């Protein structure tokens, strides 16, 4: 189960809590499994250039990796539990379980908001919840937003022109229907900073759908820091007042960046550290602790080290990659 954040947890405890048990066996190969891996084709000879016939994916086997540890894809298997991510996850679970209608997670781009939304999506018990994820694009109007929500719920929408009120009625019927079956609608809205004013008011309306004793849905918003500034506008006061629980994701501190890199390598099948201390310090300096930037820089470094035939990534390799960064 999900435990309270403890700052000094061993690396294995920082794994995705729910997926850890069933998935660990293949997510993190045991040492014996690793020792059985066939000999690396390109045995590193320091200084020698990478063979001309090398394929793009060879950089993974060169570094004894089974998958790319620094892919930009949002994959919950790679979820590394920093305290801030832990707190964000736990708070939003509270919002959902305690019938609070709105929750908010903010953070700069690349700090892990979408990943937390995926973690929530996967961890909600389908017997009790109907979670849907909606990705907002710039200036999405309220009709488009409603359509997205209904689509995600698999509800047929009459052909246009269809009045917003009619769609809202379809949604409210669906929410009541779910409730009658012992389930609650949870709407996760990613990139909420793109929501138009009318869409934000629509979210307030949806959060008002209730029966005398309880709220019938929960909406969790994920957006960039600037969204908070927007919420300060007096016209959003009632929306703001409904968000009791918020959480902010921040860039990682140096010590977490070090563990984050180790953890991702471990999940990708590499037990010993590939980046030396000088390299990690350089990554922290250049990426500023932003996960997406760390991933990008580390992946460039894996490729650069492969092309220079270097088995360990040091500061010099990171400096080389910084030029493309």
**Which residues are at the interface with ligand ADP (CB under 6 A)?**
72, 74, 78-80, 82, 85, 107, 109-115, 291-292, 295
CB of 17 to ligand ADP, least distance (A): 12
Q: Tell me which H or E stretch contains 221.
A: strand 217-223
Please write down the long-range contacts of 232-241, taking CB distance under 8 Å and 24 or more positions apart: 235/197, 236/200, 238/204, 239/102, 239/200, 239/201, 239/203, 239/204
C-beta of 29 vs 223, nearer to ligand ADP = 223
CB of 114 to ligand ADP, least distance (A): 3
CB atoms within 10 A of CB 256: 23
Kindly give, in sequence order, each residue whose CB lies less than 8 Å from that of residue 296, ignoring residues fewer than 6 positions away: 70, 72, 287, 325
Q: Does 225 bind Mg ion (CB under 5 A)?
A: no
C-beta of 114 vs 164, nearer to Mg ion = 114
C-beta of 185 vs 290, nearer to ligand ADP = 290
Q: Tell me which H or E stretch contains 217.
A: strand 217-223
110 contacts which partner out of ligand ADP, Mg ion, none, CB within 5 to 8 A by kind? ligand ADP
Q: Compute CA distances 249 → 39, 100, 104, 289, whole Å.
A: 41, 21, 11, 11
CB of 291 to Mg ion, least distance (A): 11
CB of 290 to ligand ADP, least distance (A): 8
C-beta of 71 vs 181, nearer to ligand ADP = 71
193 contacts which partner out of ligand ADP, Mg ion, none, CB within 5 to 8 A by kind? none
C-beta of 74 vs 134, nearer to ligand ADP = 74
Angle 215-218-224 from CA coordinates, rounded to 5°: 145
CB contact at 8 A, 211 and 245: no
**Residue showing tokens 């781009």:** 109
111 contacts which partner out of ligand ADP, Mg ion, none, CB within 5 to 8 A by kind? ligand ADP
C-beta of 68 vs 114, nearer to Mg ion = 114
CB of 24 to ligand ADP, least distance (A): 15
Q: Are strands 102-107 and 217-223 parallel, antiparallel or unpaired?
A: parallel
74 contacts which partner out of ligand ADP, Mg ion, none, CB within 5 to 8 A by kind? ligand ADP
Between residue 76 and residue 115, which ones bind Mg ion under the rule CB under 5 A?
A: 113-114
- Which residues make beta-bridge pairs with 210? 215
CB of 172 to Mg ion, least distance (A): 29
CB of 245 to ligand ADP, least distance (A): 18
227 contacts which partner out of ligand ADP, Mg ion, none, CB within 5 to 8 A by kind? none
C-beta of 108 vs 244, nearer to ligand ADP = 108
For residues 151 and 144, give the distance between their C-alpha atoms in angstroms, rounded to a whole number. Answer: 10
> Residue of minimal CB distance from ligand ADP?
112
3-state helix, strand, coil in the chain (%, to 5): 50, 15, 40
User: In this structure, what are the phi and psi dihedrals at residue 102, rounded to the nearest 5 degrees?
Assistant: -135, 140
3-state secondary structure of 248: strand
CB of 216 to ligand ADP, least distance (A): 28
Number of chain residues interacting with Mg ion (CB under 5 A): 2
Enumerate binding residues for Mg ion (CB under 5 A).
Answer: 113-114
């Amino acid at each position: 189960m999900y435990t309270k954040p403890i700052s000094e947890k061993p690396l294995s405890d920082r794994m995705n809590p729910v997926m850890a048990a069933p998935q660990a066996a293949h997510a993190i190969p045991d040492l014996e499994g690793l020792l059985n891996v066939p000999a690396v084709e390109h045995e590193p000879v320091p200084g020698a250039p990478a063979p001309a016939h090398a394929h793009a994916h060879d950089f993974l086997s060169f570094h004894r990796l089974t998958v790319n540890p620094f892919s930009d894809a949002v994959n919950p298997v790679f979820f590394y539990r920093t305290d801030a991510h832990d707190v964000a996850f736990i708070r939003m679970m509270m919002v959902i379980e305690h019938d609070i209608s709105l929750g908010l997670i903010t953070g700069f781009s690349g700090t892990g908001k979408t990943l937390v939304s995926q973690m929530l999506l996967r961890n909600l018990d389908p017997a009790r919840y109907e979670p849907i994820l909606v990705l907002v694009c710039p200036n999405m109007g309220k009709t488009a937003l409603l359509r997205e929500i209904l689509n995600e719920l698999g509800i047929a929408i009459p052909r246009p022109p269809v009045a917003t009120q009619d769609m809202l009625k379809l949604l409210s019927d669906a929410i009541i229907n779910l409730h009658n079956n012992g389930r609650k609608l949870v709407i996760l809205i990613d990139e909420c900073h793109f929501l138009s004013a009318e869409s934000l008011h629509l979210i307030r309306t949806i959060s008002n759908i209730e029966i005398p004793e309880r709220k019938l849905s929960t909406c969790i918003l994920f957006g960039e820091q600037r969204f908070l500034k927007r919420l300060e506008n007096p016209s959003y006061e009632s929306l703001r007042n409904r968000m009791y629980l918020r959480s902010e994701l921040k860039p990682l501190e140096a010590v977490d960046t070090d563990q984050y890199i180790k953890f991702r390598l471990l999940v990708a099948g590499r037990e010993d550290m590939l980046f030396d201390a000088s390299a990690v310090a350089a990554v922290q300096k250049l990426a500023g602790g932003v996960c997406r930037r760390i991933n990008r820089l580390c992946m460039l470094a894996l490729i650069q080290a492969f092309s220079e035939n270097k088995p360990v990534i040091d500061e010099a390799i990171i400096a080389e990659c910084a030029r493309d960064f």
